[in-house]
Homo-oligomer: A and B are copies of this chain.
Amino acid sequence: MADSKMKSPDTFWHQPIITRESRERQNGHRGAIIWFTGLSASGKSTLAHAVEHKLHERGVRTIVLDGDNVRHGLCGDLGFSDEDRSENIRRIGQVSKLFLEAGVIVLTAFISPFRIDRSRVRMMVDDPRDFIEIYCKCSIDVCESRDIKGLYKRARKGEIPDFTGISSPYEIPENANLAVDTSRLSVEECVEQVIRTLQDCGVLPIEI
C-alpha cells in the first residue's frame, strides 16, 4: 500500500460524523435525560427501573444510571461531602449528556439534594425536552419507615455523616416537570404519570 493512496493528508482527517439526529431517527424516538430526585428510599431507583421496563417493552433505547452502576464505578473515588456530591452530580450529568448524544433515554436516580447541581445539569442541554426533572415526593417519615437498607437507622445513630434529610439538607425542586407522590401511589400509577409527562413534554409521541 503506497503513500500515494493518500491524496492529501488533510482528507485523512475528515470523516462524516454521525449526529444525534441520525441516531434518533435510527431509534425512532428522541434522546432525553429523565432526572429523578428525592430522599433516600423515596422510590427513585424503583421508579426509574419501572419506567425503563415500560419503555424498553415499546422498543425505546434506555439506560438507568443509579448508585449501583455509578457509585462503585465512575464515581468510586467520591464520598458524600458537599463538594463530592456536587462532583458526583457533575459527572453523572456529563455521562447523561453522552447518552443523550447517543439518542438514548437516560433515567438517573440519585438523591441530588442541591438545587444548584440539578440546575447545572439542566443548563448543559439546549432543548427543554432534553432534561426532565421528576421529584419523588415522599416525606422523611415514610422514607425512614421503609429504610430497606437500614441507612436511616445508622444515620440516626450518627454512623453515617452527611446523610440527606438528617445531617445534610435536601432542597426540594421548585420547577420540577413532575412531582410524583411515591408515598401514596402504586409503582404502576407513578409510571403512568411519568410516561404522561414525557408525552406532554414532547419527549415521547402520544401513541407510545
| A residues at B contact (CB < 8 Å) | 1-3, 5-6, 9-10, 12-18, 22-23, 26-27, 43, 46, 49-50, 52-53, 56, 59, 61-65, 69-70, 73-74, 91, 94-95, 97-99, 101-102, 104, 145-146, 148, 181, 183-187, 189
A102 touches B99 (CB 8 A): yes
With A63-B98, A95-B98, A101-B63 known as contacts, the answer to whether A53 contacts B16 (CB < 8 A) is: yes
Which of B16, B64, B91 contacts A49 (CB under 8 A)?
B16
A1 touches B97 (CB 8 A): no
Contacting residues, chain B, for A65 (C-beta < 8 A): 98
Shortest beta-carbon distance from A118 to chain B in Å: 17
Cα A49 to Cα B102 with chains together (Å): 14
Cα A94 to Cα B91 with chains together (Å): 11
A73 touches B97 (CB 8 A): yes
Which of B9, B62, B70, B184 contacts A3 (CB under 8 A)?
B184
28 pairs, CB–CB < 8 Å, chain A vs chain B: A1-B184, A2-B184, A3-B184, A5-B185, A6-B186, A9-B145, A10-B148, A12-B46, A13-B46, A15-B50, A15-B187, A16-B49, A16-B53, A18-B49, A18-B52, A18-B53, A18-B62, A22-B56, A26-B61, A27-B61, A70-B98, A73-B94, A73-B97, A74-B91, A74-B95, A95-B98, A99-B99, A102-B104
Pick from A12, A17, A61, A184 the residue with the most CB of B within 10 Å.
A12
A17 touches B69 (CB 8 A): no
Contacting residues, chain B, for A69 (C-beta < 8 A): 98, 101
Contacting residues, chain B, for A27 (C-beta < 8 A): 61
Shortest beta-carbon distance from A27 to chain B in Å: 8
Contacting residues, chain B, for A14 (C-beta < 8 A): 46
Shortest beta-carbon distance from A183 to chain B in Å: 8
